[in-house]
Chains A and B, each alone.
Chain A
Amino acid sequence: MPITESETTPTAYTYSPNETEQAIMGRVRWFVQENFLYMMPDFVLGDDDRLLERGVVDSMGIAELISFVESEFGVVAAESEISEANFGSLRSISQFVASRQSPAVS
């Protein structure tokens, strides 16, 4: 059956919060791989692995991540937000960015 135009045109399509997080995490993972793990190609980094604890980033690395999040996603983290809860792992960064990007939902 031929596909009609109306069926291929997405209407008011939006990412689900989960998909947004996935996309963000992909970018963050790429950044981490490219900048902090380039010397260890066999290193397996889980979504919830603690970046500091596993030695992936040091304090300078965290500063780089913060400025990456700012330039890539337009999310400026306040000093109080630079915490283990928001920047501790790939997942926590992605959740933090997603929460700041999505319009506030009451």
Chain B
Amino acid sequence: MCGIAGIARHSAAGVNIDSLGRMAAAIRHRGPDGYGFYVGHRVGLAHLRLSIIDVEGGAQPLTNEDGQIIITYNGEVYNHPELRRELEDRGHVFRTHTDTEVVVHGYEEWGVDVLHRLNGQFAFAIYDRIRDRVFVARDRFGVRPLFYAQQNGDFFFGSEIKAILATGEVESAMDRRGLHESLTLWGSRPPRTPFSGIASLEPGTYGLWKGGALFLHRYYELDYPEAGEEPADVIEQLDELMLRSVGMRMRADVPVGAYLSGGLDSSITSTLAARSSPQTLRTFSITFDDPRFDESSFQREVADTVGSIHQIASIGPRCVAETFPKVLWHAETPLLRTAPVPMYHLAKLTKESGIKVVLTGEGADELFLGYDLFKEVSVRQFCLRQPQSQARQRLFDRLYPYLAGPGKGGEFWRKFFLEAGQPNDPLFSHLPRFLVSARIKDFYTPEFRKSLGGLDVLSELRSALPTRFFGWSALNRAAYLEMTTLLSTYLLSSQGDRMAMAHGVEGRFPFLDHRLFEFSAALPTSSKLLGLHEKEILRRWAARVLPTRINSRGKQPYRAPDAPSFFAEGMPDWIADELTPEAVRRVGIFSPQAVEGLVRRCRSGAATGFRENQAIVGLLSTQLWHRQFVDAAHRISPLPVSGATALFGDSVPVLS
């Protein structure tokens, strides 16, 4: 896993190596093991290396045999040995053992269609000197990031936005709509970002830049061709897919570890990883000092069962407030949750323990309908068929026992779910969540609200849905929305790639193997959510590999304390500094009067609801984001050319 960046000029002005050096320096954390540059007349590529495969021989940028195809690549293609054999049979000569070179020769052989053959997580840029074009692409589900900007025909790109800003050529300015979308959906939807003029390449798409213009194409679509019945050998199929997916993701020339939360998904990935690991598996988890959130004893129990050497990062009461500015710098977007903080510390612990690749359980909840949100959809549909039935509404008490009970709100919160929308609304599944988070705009200044020009994030989302969406069942619609509005835009990015790569740790996601996704998408939804039993088929299969007490454990919602994290005794100064009326007014997004009320309620401990918790995290993160990205100058010294492990230009290789 690595970091990539580059510039392609429309004019023949050339690329300055210092610009590439600054881009690389801005994302050095992604690839601490080495760096390299290609500096051509029109195109320049930078690469930061985290060496995992072919540790000795895999320096980048890398070329094909005649130097006409040049790549800078971030990611892993897990089926590289199979593709390599196929390409060798067709006469391609390999110089390294890397998956990177497989992509180079694959592109030579199949052109952009190589993407259909890659099984993995990647973002890359290929400069094709023969066709005089730059080919950029991103994996199917958006595990690896790629941002870009176009200015006067010039094209800038990078794994993180800060690489683009480091050129000093692209202005760092707020995109009000992108910012509002981030604060409504937890993350902006690609191509939009909170930065004006900087776009995110959509997962499952690629771009061809030629002659000063970028042409975007989609190569992968999420589809849910739900079958009426399970195939007879469904468990055997799932078994084969799971074993193969984990097996492929254990391919590395360095030890592979695993995140192990104690839940079903990571217990599965860790158990399978332990079986195929040549050494004792190392596993990692996070817990909170607060005994209400402490899951360490269960985590250790699961680790004992898995047979791993387990380490736990413990999050203390001051940790969130102290780390939040760093986390935000890596996330590059305002946040509504503090959950990325523990993930940042988990990656830190992992790296300090000498592990730079981990398997995680991310994706299982989306594929096998694990989240409460999916159950909520079923219950809401069931209740709305007979809205007067109190007995039906009692199902909400079973779904959210912590919301039910004496003095908690009685019929009101059930009513909230019932009134949040009707099943004929395409966003039906997500309206309870979206309607709460959309209330962030109550905290805006009237001027900022006005400047959004009537932007309706939900209407835009409705109109962006593909036609086939309307043929899917309610649960598959919900799964699609979860994949596209939360998984790639928040979980895999702010909470995933950005936190792991802050410490040079690569996450690998066995559940996000596209064949596994296609398998799950074609199952009847009842195989996934049966009544209120989530991940039914996964549990049925997991009985083969996990002890019953782990397999039958219900989902523990991942909870990080939000508002209280910033308002205890002895908090760092930045919080008070960002909350002064002057600071709030200077940024101009949140109303000082609203902030005053919000802070008063947070300080008194009264802000316990979702709306205010999201508002305080949204407020603090927006203030910090503005300070770190919009106000800052983004001056950074370039990485020295002398330290590069690969350096070449258009004529002969300069080095390497």
Contact = CB atoms under 8 A, between A and B. Distances in A.
Interface of A: 34-35, 38-41, 52-53, 55, 57-64, 66-67, 77, 79, 82-84, 87
A91 to B, nearest CB: 17
A38 B597 contact: yes
Interface string B369-412: 00000000000000000000000000000000001001111111
B641 interface: no
B352 to A, nearest CB: 39
A52 B432 CA distance: 13
B416 A39 contact: no
A83 B609 contact: no
Contact of A63 (B407, B415, B439, B611): B407
B615 to A, nearest CB: 8
Contacts of A59: 403, 408-409, 412-413, 416, 609
Contacts of A60: 409, 608-610
Contacts of A58: 413, 416, 436, 609-611
Contacts of A52: 412, 415-416, 419
Contacts of B403: 59
The DSSP consensus for interface residues of chain B is helix
Contacts of B608: 60, 64
11 contacts: A35-B601, A35-B606, A40-B442, A52-B415, A52-B419, A59-B403, A62-B413, A66-B409, A77-B407, A82-B412, A83-B410
A52 to B, nearest CB: 6
A39 B443 contact: yes
B594 interface: yes
> Closest 10 A-B residue pairs measured CB to CB?
A38-B597, A59-B413, A82-B410, A60-B609, A39-B594, A62-B409, A59-B409, A62-B412, A39-B442, A63-B409
B72 interface: no
B606 A64 contact: yes
Contacts of B591: 39
Interface string B585-599: 000000101101110
A83 B608 CA distance: 21
B30 to A, nearest CB: 39
Interface string B431-455: 0000010010011000000000000
Most buried by A among B409, B436, B606, B609: B409
A38 B598 CA distance: 8
A70 B406 CA distance: 13
Contacts of A35: 601, 606
A7 B598 CA distance: 49
A61 B608 CA distance: 9
Contact of B593 (A41, A66, A77, A82): A41
Interface of B: 403, 406-413, 415-416, 419, 436, 439, 442-443, 591, 593-594, 596-598, 600-601, 606, 608-611, 615
A34 B606 CA distance: 12
B83 to A, nearest CB: 52
A87 B415 CA distance: 13
A53 B412 CA distance: 10
Nearest to A88: B412
B11 to A, nearest CB: 49
B594 A38 contact: yes
A53 B416 CA distance: 8
A33 to B, nearest CB: 10
Contacts of B412: 52, 57, 59, 62, 82, 84, 87
Contacts of B439: 55
A92 to B, nearest CB: 12
Contacts of A66: 407, 409
A61 B412 CA distance: 10
B612 to A, nearest CB: 8
Contacts of A53: 419
Contacts of B415: 52, 84
B433 to A, nearest CB: 12
B588 to A, nearest CB: 16
A83 B414 CA distance: 11
Q: Which of A39, A41, A57, A79 has the most CB of B within 10 A?
A: A39
A66 B412 CA distance: 12
Contacts of B436: 58
A39 B597 contact: yes
A67 B601 contact: no
Given A53-B419, A59-B416, A82 B409 contact: yes
A39 B611 CA distance: 12
Given A40-B442, A79-B406, A84-B415, A61 B597 contact: no
A100 B509 CA distance: 58
A66 B406 CA distance: 10
A58 B417 CA distance: 10
Given A39-B594, A58-B610, A64-B608, 7 more contacts: A35-B606, A39-B443, A39-B598, A52-B415, A57-B412, A60-B609, A62-B409
A41 B409 CA distance: 26
A63 B601 CA distance: 15
B396 to A, nearest CB: 10
